[in-house]
Structure 1
Amino acid sequence: MSEVDAARAHGWVAHLREGGTTPWLAWSGGPSAPGAPTSRTLPGAQQLELLRRVNVASAGATTAVLADRVLAAPAAGRGKADLPLVGLDGGTGFGPRAVDPEHVGARELLRVASVLLADDLVSLGADPARSSWARPWRRRFRLVGDPVTATELREHLLALGRPEGGPRPFLVAVGAPLDELLARTWTQRCFETGTKPFADWLRFWRERDQLPARTDLLASVLRWNARRPFVRIVTDIDRLPRQLGVRHLPEVRVPGADQAELARRIASVVGLKVPAGERPGLMRTLQRRMPGSGAAPVVVPAREREWVAESAARMGRNIARAGYPVVGDLADLAPRAETPSPAVGDQQVLDLAIRMVADPSWRTRGVER
C-alpha cells in the first residue's frame, strides 16, 4: 500500500472515530487525511462500516471509547475474515477480496455487533430477582407449557410472594394454538441458551415427528408425575388467573422476531464468555431490557402447517385419553388459520443491533415489570 493510500485510509478511520458518516468511496481526504495512522494495520471493512452506521444512528455523538470498541471487536461465529478496503494498491491476489464497506452484508455486520452487545450484557450482569414475603396459605402452583407466558408469570407471582413449587402444587400447563406454542418455545430458547435458526429448528422436529419438551403439554405434565386432581391444562388464557389463585395477571409481551433473532446471536457469544449456569440469567436480563421495534413475533411458515395441524390433533387426543382436567377446549390447540407475516430479514435485526450499540440507555434504565 502506497503512502498516499495509507494516509487516505487512516484519515477515513480518524474521520469515523470523530463521529463522521462519509462512506469510504466518497471519502476524498480532508484535514485529517495526512494525520498519523491510528494503528499499523487497518480495521476490517465490517468494523469500519458498522462504526459508520453507528455514527449515523447516534447523529455523530459516538464516543471515542465506543468507536475504539467497535473497531477492535472481532466477528463472531463462522463467516468471512476481516475484509480489506477496495481501492487501495498493494493487493497480492491472496486472502479475502477487497470490498466497498457499504456493500458488506447485514449478516457480516451482525457478527461484529453481537460481540459488542454480548460484552455489554456480561458487564451489566444479571438483574436480581424480585421477590416478596411468601404467603404460605395461598395456592401452590407449578407452571409448565407456553415458555414465554410461564417465564413471565412465574417472575410476576414470585414478586407477589407466590413462589413456584411447594407441597402438592397445582400443575398448570399453559396451552395455546400449537403454531404459537412452537414459535414461543423457539423464542424463549433464544433468550436462554440460544438455538438454531427458526426454520432449521422446525425442520429438526418435523423430521422426527416430535414436539419440543415444553411444547408437548402432556409430556410436560407427565414429567412432574402429578396426580390428576392437581393438574389443570389451560387452553383458555382468560381463565388462567383463577387456576393460579389470583384475580388478575399482567399481559404477556411476546418478543418480536427481530428481538428473538438478535438474542439468538448474542446468546452464542455470551456462552463463550461466562459459565453455562450464568447465561440464562444474563439472557433473561436482556429479554427484559431489549428495546422493541414493533416487529411481530416469529410465525410458523405455511410449509410446516400440515405437520403442525397433525401434531396438534395428536396431542389433543393423547390429553383426552389421559383424562387430565382441561380448562377450555382442546380444539383451541389447532393452529390458527392466519396469513403469515413477512419474515424478518437480517437488515431489520441489524437495525435493532445498531440502535442498541449506539444508545446505551437499555443498560441503565429501570426494568419495566
Structure 2
Amino acid sequence: MTGRAQSWVAHLRQGGTTPWLAWRGDMSADPPTGVVPGAQQLELLRRINLARESSAGPRGGHDGLSTQLADRVLAAPAAGRGKADLPLMGLETPTFGAQPVDPATVSAHELLRVASVLLADDLVALGADPVRTTWARPWRLRYRLVGDPVLVAHWREDLASRGRPEGGPRPFLVAVGRPLDELLAHTWTQRCFETGSTPWTEWLRFWRERDQLPARADLPASARRWGARRPFVRIVTDHDRLPRQVGVRRLPLVRVPGADQAELARRIAAVVGLRVPAHERPALMRTLQHRIPDTGTAPAVVPAREREWVAASAARMTREISRAGYAVVGDLAALAPRTEPPAATGPGVADQQVLDLAIRMVVDPGWRAADRRVERSVER
C-alpha cells in the first residue's frame, strides 16, 4: 500500500489529477521514497493541478517550475497550533493522533491551512512595496485622518504621494464616518491586512459582549485619544465634501476588499507574523492588499443577530458627538446602520470561496510581478 501511495505522489508531482481512491497504483513512474505527505498537502496539490489544467488546458509535459511548486506544496506545513498532518487513508492506522482520511473529503478549512503558508512565504520573498511619497508642500493644510480604516489608509498614501502628508502643528482632526455596520466591517477588514485578526463573527462577538466599539470605529474616542480640541475636530459623513477638509480638490475612489480577500489576508497574516519581525508585518500585508486579485465578492456584512447592538452603539456614538459639540460635515444620521442590509447576512464568506482565491494566487503568480499594484477604484 505504501508503494501505491508513493506512486500516487509521483503522479501528482507530474501534474496528475486522479483522486486517491480512483488511483490504481501505476508503478511505471519512479516513485519517491520516504514519508508520504499529509492528506491536506496531497489534496491541495491535486486541486492546484486541476486549476492549472482548466486555466491553460492539458499540458503535454510537466516543466521544472511545476515540479518545484509541487515540491513546495508537499513540503509545506499546515498552519495552526501545531496540529499534525492528516494521514492518508489506506496506510497503516496510527495508534494515536489524527486518523487516516480520504484526501477528497478534506475540508476547505484544512486545505487553507497549507495554502496560507505557501502564500505567506511568497509574500515574504516578494518584500514590501516602496511607499510613494514626495516632498511636503509647506503651504499644505495641516490635518490628521482617523475613522474608516480602509478609506483612511488609502487616502493617507495618496495624500503623502502628492506632498500632503498628515500631521504638523495644530492639525485639524478629520474623522471619516459612515454607517456603523460598514465602519465595523471596514475596521475588521483593514486589521486583516495589517496585523491579522480573529474570524469576523468572533471579532464582532468580542466587542458586542463588552458593549464597546473598537478604537478606530469609535469617532469621539479617536478625537479624545489624539487630544484634539473641539474647534479642531471635524466629523465627516459626507465624503463628497471631504477633499476640502484635507486641502485638495479630489480624493481617489477606494474599493473595499471583499470578504474572501479579507479572510485570506487574515490567515496569511498569522503566518507572516511567524516569518518576520512584528514591525515588518504591516508593510508586507499592505503590499498584499494592493496586489491581491479581485474576485468581485462583496465586503464583510454584519450578521442579523448583531444588528440590534450595532444600532444601539451608533445611537450612543451620535449622542457623544452631539454633546461634545464637534463640527459635523454632513449628517450624523448617516452613522446609523443601513436599514436594508444586503441579503448576505450569514456567518461570513464560505471557506471554499477563500480556498478558490488562494489556489488562484498559487497557480497564477502574476500578483507577485514587479509592476503589479492593483488600484481599488469602485466604492468610497
Q: Same fold (TM over 0.5)?
A: yes
The answer as to 2:84 corresponding to 1:81 is yes
Q: Secondary structure at the match of 2:174?
A: strand
Asked whether the 8 Å contact 1:7–1:34 carries over to 2, the reply is: no
Corresponding residue for 2:12? 16
Give distance in 1, aligned partners of 2:10 and 2:261: 32
Instruction: Kindly indicate whether residue 367 of structure 2 is the aligned counterpart of residue 366 of structure 1.
Output: no
Alignment correspondent of 1:276: 278
> Are the equivalent residues in 1 in contact too, given 2:180–2:336 (CA < 8 A)?
yes
Instruction: Find the partner of 1:53 among 43, 47, 55.
Output: 47
The answer on 1:348 being equivalent to 2:353 is yes
Instruction: After superposition, give the CA deviation of every residue in 1:122-174 in whole Å (9 maximum; x if it has no partner).
Output: 11111110012221102121100000010000001111111111112221100
Amino acid at match of 2:89: V
Tell whether 2:236 aligns with 1:242.
no
Task: Name the SS for the 2:217 alignment partner.
Answer: coil
Q: TM-score, normalised on structure 1?
A: 0.95
After superposition, the Cα gap between the structure-2 partners of 1:93 and 1:226, relative to the gap in structure 1 and judged at 3 Å, is closer
In the alignment, the residues of structure 1 paired with residue 142 and residue 297 of structure 2 have an alpha-carbon distance, to the nearest angstrom, of 36
What is the distance in 2 between the residues matched to 1:226 and 1:87?
Answer: 66
**Aligned-partner Cα distance in 2 for 1:213–1:124:** 31
Counterpart position of 1:40: 34
Equivalences, count: 362
Whole-Å separation in 2 of the counterparts to 1:245 and 1:154: 13
Contact 1:79 1:108 in 2 (8 A): no
Matched position secondary structure for 2:146: strand
CA contact (8 A) 1:7 1:35 kept: no
Q: Which amino acid aligns with 2:67?
A: A
1:1-369 map, 5 Å: 5-30=1-26, 33-59=27-53, 63-78=66-81, 80-88=83-91, 90-342=92-344, 343-364=348-369, 365-369=371-375
Deviates more, 1:331-340 or 1:97-106: 331-340
Q: Tell me the distance in 2 between the aligned counterparts of 1:10 and 1:251.
A: 52
Q: Which moved more, 1:350-359 or 1:77-86?
A: 77-86
Q: Quote the Cα distance in structure 1 between the aligned partners of 2:82 and 2:22.
A: 27
- Tell me the distance in 2 between the aligned counterparts of 1:293 and 1:65: 27
Deviations 1:88-146 (CA, angstroms, capped at 9, x unpaired): 4x335443221111110000000000111110111111111001222110212110000
Q: Which amino acid letter does the alignment assign opposite residue 18 of structure 1?
A: Q
Shift of 1:36: 4.0
Which segment is superposed worse, 318-327 or 237-246?
237-246
Cα 1:107–1:214 shift into 2, 3 Å:
same
Which one-letter code corresponds to 2:15 in the other structure? G
- 1:38 CA displacement: 1.6
Relative to the length of structure 2, the TM-score reads 0.92
1:200-223 residue CA offsets vs partner (Å, 9 max, x unmatched): 111111111110000000000111
Q: 1:277 to 1:347 in 2, by over 3 A?
A: same
Question: Over the residues paired in the alignment, what is the CA RMSD in angstroms?
Answer: 1.5
Give structure 1 stretches of 5+ with no counterpart: none
**Residue 312 of structure 1: CA displacement?**
0.4
Compared CA separation, residues 180 and 122, structure 1 to 2 (3 A): same
**8 Å CA contact retained: 1:300, 1:340:** no
User: Displacement of 1:231 after TM fit?
Assistant: 1.5
Deviations 1:207-257 (A, max 9, x none): 111100000000001111122222111011111111111111111110000
- Give 1:35 shift: 4.1
Task: State percent identity of aligned pairs.
Answer: 72
TM-superposed CA distance for 1:338, in Å, is: 2.1
